[in-house]
Amino acid sequence: MLQILQLTPGDLDVAYAVLERAAEMRVKRDQALAEYVARRTAGLTVQGITSWLKGSFSK
């Protein structure tokens, strides 16, 4: 297969390194997205609680 594609074992090492780096980047992106969603959700929860408390004590 390597001969057909005219690849060397070094080319495969580079390809594996690129795929590994891409996987690491995906993990970091997914973690960042999860953290963003958690922050937004926590913010909305705090806003909801604050609004409820404000409404409860203003009566």
pLDDT of 3 reads 67
Tell me if the pTM is above 0.85.
Answer: no
The token duo for 36 is: 């963003």
Higher pLDDT, 38 or 3: 38
Query: Distances in Å between the alpha carbon of 12 and those of 17, 53, 59?
Result: 8, 61, 71
Average pLDDT for 36-55 = 84
- Which residue type is seen at 14? V
| Distance between CA atoms of residues 23 and 17, nearest Å | 10
Confidence of residue 2 (pLDDT cuts 50, 70, 90): low
Contact 9, 2 (CB under 8 A): yes
